[in-house]
A and B are shown apart, each in its own frame.
Chain A
Amino acid sequence: MEEKKFEPRILAFLCNWCSYAGADLAGVSRLQYPSNIRVIRVTCSGTVSPHHILHAFQKRADGVLVAGCHIGDCHYIKGNYMTLKRLKFVEGLLDFAGYDPKRLRLEWISAAEGIKFAGVVREFTETIRHLGPAPPFDAIPLLAGNM
């Protein structure tokens, strides 16, 4: 029987003013990128709370991408400062809890960077494909057979 190929499920939070526009440009320019990504548009990357990220993993996302305007370009001036502070912290937390921090990725993508967007999605999908499915969040008591 043929093994079903692992298709990563990637959730992307894109800020409305830069990264979402960048993704749009990638689309309009007919750039190819994997369809593993599901996009959620947010007003600013600074509105992405660690809760959203954890919730994505809880719901079995294999990778989470957060993308916003470059530092200095945030539509709300300093929103992405918060994004950077939070993401570094959440990365460290995930790592300590035993989840590979490479499953969480932060990128600055401007409205003009359609090519960068497509490249990031391609690369990230490959990274996640290589890592395999994310370990579930369920704290099921270990069965003897699983030990």
Chain B
Amino acid sequence: MNTKIRILLQGGRVDGFFAYKTTSGFPFPTLFTLENIQELETWRPTPARYPILKLLLAQARKNPHAAYGILVRGCEERGLRELFKYQQLEQDKVIILGQACTEGLAKYCECWKPYPDALDYGKPAPAMAKSRKVEELEEQHREARLDWWLSHFNRCIRCYGCRDVCPVCFCTECSLEHAELMLGEILPPDTSFHLVRAVHMGGRCIDCGLCEEVCPARIPLRSLYKKINRLIEEILGYNPGISKEKSPLSFLGEEMSLPSGPR
């Protein structure tokens, strides 16, 4: 049984803890409390990923005075920091325990930080400095890139899965449902659907890749947002989930935060 989580629960530091429980052979995200504390399992690495931050957020909204613990991966820790920045969660009401991802998962994710800073379980796998998928796209001609994206975008069934699973999509009103911006009932939605979402990811995406994972049309969304992250880093020197301050796109800003180039 997991001692760290048990101590947090029994010591009253948290009212509940989000971790995983094996159900029919699969790890499922579960809220542990004093009631089911004996069901806690020993930690083991798993490639299974869930929108666990969404579960925490929903729970915290229901019980604003309660404190919760959560077992996070690298990307989930970055997501938490964004949620703190935008006052979606209170930092002192969230206790984190961190787990490292396996090397296999880090490769699959082309992850640049496959472990949280707060590391309690597992050994950090090497980070991947580059994304081969993004580079391949960058090497293509622009026209070829357009065809490539269109050949994927045209499968979108506008299910909003990518948005709904996103840990940093917490708006109550969504531009993707704006009647004039997202013309009518057209299927597939036009490119602006994906570009508007990409704009919203600028300065917010923590590169967990859940969007791509849930997309029933298997649209390579993660490559799009990985590029967005790179742009934000190059232009504004900002890394969502790492940088302490808020995204430079969320406030008017100082001269020093302006991109270089002709003014």
Q: Which residues of A contact B (CB under 8 A)?
A: 46, 50-51, 54-55, 57-58, 70-71, 77-79, 81-82, 84-86, 88-90, 92-100, 108, 135-142
Asked whether, in the complex, the Cβ of B146 is within 8 Å of the Cβ of A139, the reply is: no
Asked whether, in the complex, the Cβ of B253 is within 8 Å of the Cβ of A88, the reply is: no
| Most chain B beta-carbon neighbours within 10 Å: one of A70, A97, A138, A139 | A139
Report A-chain residues with C-beta under 8 Å of the C-beta of B258.
71, 81, 84-85
Asked whether, in the complex, the Cβ of A51 is within 8 Å of the Cβ of B196, the reply is: yes
B58 contacts the other chain (CB 8 A) = no
Residue of B nearest to A135 (CB): B146
B181, chain A: closest CB distance, angstroms: 6
A25, chain B: closest CB distance, angstroms: 21
Asked whether, in the complex, the Cβ of A95 is within 8 Å of the Cβ of B192, the reply is: no
Asked whether, in the complex, the Cβ of A90 is within 8 Å of the Cβ of B146, the reply is: no
Report B-chain residues with C-beta under 8 Å of the C-beta of A96.
137-138, 145, 224, 227, 231
Asked whether, in the complex, the Cβ of A95 is within 8 Å of the Cβ of B249, the reply is: no
With A51-B181, A78-B252, A137-B190 as contacts: A97 and B263 at CB distance below 8 Å:
no
Find B255's partner among A50, A81, A97, A140 (CB 8 Å cutoff): A81
Interface of chain A: mostly helix, strand, loop or mixed: helix
B154, chain A: closest CB distance, angstroms: 4
Asked whether, in the complex, the Cβ of B261 is within 8 Å of the Cβ of A85, the reply is: no
Asked whether, in the complex, the Cβ of A71 is within 8 Å of the Cβ of B263, the reply is: yes
With A71-B263, A85-B258 as contacts: A93 and B199 at CB distance below 8 Å:
yes
B226, chain A: closest CB distance, angstroms: 10
Asked whether, in the complex, the Cβ of A89 is within 8 Å of the Cβ of B263, the reply is: no
Interface of chain B: mostly helix, strand, loop or mixed: helix
A147, chain B: closest CB distance, angstroms: 9
Asked whether, in the complex, the Cβ of A141 is within 8 Å of the Cβ of B154, the reply is: yes
A81 to B248, CA, bound (A): 10
B: contact size bracket: 35 or more
Report B-chain residues with C-beta under 8 Å of the C-beta of A92.
227, 231, 234-235
A51-B199, A89-B235 known, 20 other contacts, Cβ within 8 Å: A55-B180, A58-B191, A70-B263, A71-B255, A78-B252, A78-B254, A82-B253, A88-B235, A89-B202, A92-B231, A93-B198, A93-B228, A95-B142, A96-B138, A97-B146, A97-B149, A98-B142, A98-B148, A139-B188, A141-B188
Q: Return the 4 tightest CB-CB contacts between A and B, nearest first.
A: A98-B146, A78-B252, A98-B145, A139-B153
Task: Return 26 A-B CB contacts under 8 Å, by A number.
Answer: A51-B196, A54-B199, A55-B180, A58-B191, A71-B258, A71-B263, A81-B257, A84-B259, A85-B235, A85-B249, A85-B257, A88-B235, A88-B261, A89-B202, A89-B249, A93-B198, A93-B199, A96-B137, A96-B138, A97-B149, A97-B224, A98-B142, A108-B263, A137-B192, A139-B150, A141-B188
Residue of A nearest to B144 (CB): A98
Asked whether, in the complex, the Cβ of A98 is within 8 Å of the Cβ of B252, the reply is: no
